[in-house]
Amino acid sequence: MAIEWVDVISWIYQTLSEDSVLQDLIAGTSKVRGYQQGVYTDMAPQVDPISGKSPLAPFVIVSLADGGVDERSLCGTRFLASPSIRITAWDRQSGSVSYARIKPIMDRVDELIDNKESFTTPHFWIRRDGSDVIMPDPSSGITDYGITATYQTMVTVEIGV
């Protein structure tokens, strides 16, 4: 497994974190943009680094779904990796579930990430593979749920012969 996925996640995290439209969608109508970080890698922290409080839904998580398979070309001069990245918008409700707050968030994430090319090192391309709904056990009466999408990346890295 290659570690280029760390660079891919960093690029996605930066792209999402710096987008003012996405930050407005995360803040919604009841909070000010930037009240909390709102985009996290791997999992939401117990304490948000900006607000100093537990993160409030909705928020976005960027994580590795699968490290992929590394390949070399015939000459061995180009290295290809194909990690899959999972991006999930989480919300919380008590009672019925509505995707009204997180669907526009995932639509914006898709607009920012899907079918994009990075001009960074390493160089990579991203395309969405699929999407799904996540709903852990709601037996507590409070329902955490999310819309998740997986993105396939193709990463090229120059290597020595």
Q: How far apart are CA 46 and CA 158, in angstroms?
A: 39
Q: How many domains does the chain have?
A: 1
| Residues 6 or more apart whose Cβ sits within 8 Å of residue 84 | 64, 65, 66, 68, 129, 150, 151, 152, 153
User: pLDDT (tens digit, 9 = 90+) per residue, 87-124?
Assistant: 999 998 766 678 888 999 999 999 999 999 998 888 89
**CATH number, residue 39:** 3.30.2000
Residue 36 domain boundaries: 4-158
SS3 44: coil
33 pLDDT band, cuts 50/70/90, is confident
Instruction: For residues 31-57, give the mean pLDDT.
Output: 88
SS3 9: helix
Phi, psi of 150 (to 5 degrees): -105, 140
Instruction: For residues 2-20, give the mean pLDDT.
Output: 90
73 pLDDT band, cuts 50/70/90, is low
User: pLDDT (tens digit, 9 = 90+) per residue, 125-145?
Assistant: 999 999 888 877 666 666 788
pLDDT at 16: 97
153 pLDDT band, cuts 50/70/90, is very high
